[in-house]
Structures are given as C-alpha cells and as structure tokens.
A and B are shown apart, each in its own frame.
Chain A
C-alpha cells in the first residue's frame, strides 16, 4: 500500500524568504513518482514539480526545488524567494508501480506568505 504524509497543516513565511514543505512517503514499489501540486483558493490543481524514484538529481523548476532523500523516503518542496501569490494549499502526491496511473495525495499544507 502507498502512503503520503504531510505533517504541517499550516506554514507561514516572510515574503522573499525560502520555505520548506515536508512530505514523506511509503511504498514497496521500487518504481514510483513524486509530485507537488499547488491549489489556490479558486480550487484548480496546478502541477509544480516531479521527481522520479530513479532520478539521480533533485528536480528543480524555477523557484521550486525538491529535496529528495530516498533513504529517508522524503520529498520536501523548497520554495525560494516567496511571493504573496504563493499563498495556497500545497499537496504532495505519489504514483507507484509500473503502469500505475492514479495519484495518492497527502493531506496538504496551507502556506501563507506574509508581506
């Protein structure tokens, strides 16, 4: 069975500072993918970044980077130079197994950027 855990229900960060959102996962499948999505108050799910289980390097996408520690089964999202528009819910998700299509989501972290 797959499990995604986000232990921070809410986080605050000062504008222009960096923030780390935690995510741990558990799966017995050696092949899996980890995703982060942003959900603003409007509701849409915006894909941010992806990390594959066999990727050697940590993924980066602009101000987003993923701190992937495979042995610890963690995939923390780092947002650098926070902006007011970053205030939203952030979900960590996992897709496990060859051919698996579904995503399992964590409970989310609400990030608030303080001006």
Chain B
C-alpha cells in the first residue's frame, strides 16, 4: 500500500492566489522529504529538500519565496505556491525515504496544478 500520501491530487486556481500541497508519510517518520516538479513529457526535477525542524534546501533556480516549504512534523511537509501564475502550472510530486539509506524513495501520487 501507499506509504506517502499527497493532497490534493488536482487543483485549479486563479492567477495571483496561493495553493498549498500536503505530503504525509504514513506509518513512518520522514526527517527528509523531497519536492519534485515535472513538466509535461519531461523528467522529474528536484525543487527542494524539506528538512524537519529546519529550513528547506532549494535547488538552484528555484525561488524560495515563491515555493514555500514547511516541514513542521516528522510526517508532514507542505509546499505552498504563492501568487501562482500560469507558468507555475505543472505536476508536483513529493517523496520520502522509508527506512534506511539505500531504500527507495516512495512517492506521493502527485498534484496537478493548473493556474488560470
């Protein structure tokens, strides 16, 4: 069964509004979660690493003020897309590692964001 839950699966919002996406680890604690973005027919690109109890680590070119990440507990990380614009429309997917270092990343089902 799923070990990472992501919500919502789809969201449509108007330009200028903010959208929050939740990523939960189920039945395990995840001190680190990862947020990826995937454009149509492209690969997954890491946006940021979410660290429980500390600031997220953003990849080069990702605006930290636009993509706010909060990892307030060991089972929940949130990504907020602030002042969304149509170019932010994309598929956002989170992941967490279950158990040890070499275990695979488990992914949520993703969130398809459409900004009109």
Q: Using a CB–CB distance below 8 Å, which chain A residues touch chain B? A: 33, 35, 37, 42-45, 47, 50, 52, 91, 95, 99, 101-108
B32 touches A47 (CB 8 A): no
Minimum CB distance partner of A35 in chain B = B104
Distance in Å: Cβ of B26 to nearest Cβ of chain A: 14
Distance in Å: Cβ of A23 to nearest Cβ of chain B: 12
A91 touches B44 (CB 8 A): yes
A45 touches B107 (CB 8 A): yes
Distance in Å: Cβ of A93 to nearest Cβ of chain B: 8
A43 touches B101 (CB 8 A): no
Set A42, A103, A105, A106: member contacting B109, Cβ < 8 A:
A42
B43 touches A106 (CB 8 A): yes
- Contact string, B63-77, partner A, CB cutoff 8 A, digits 1/0? 000000000000000
Distance in Å: Cβ of A40 to nearest Cβ of chain B: 11
Minimum CB distance partner of A48 in chain B = B104
Minimum CB distance partner of A46 in chain B = B107
A15, B22: Cα distance in complex, Å: 38
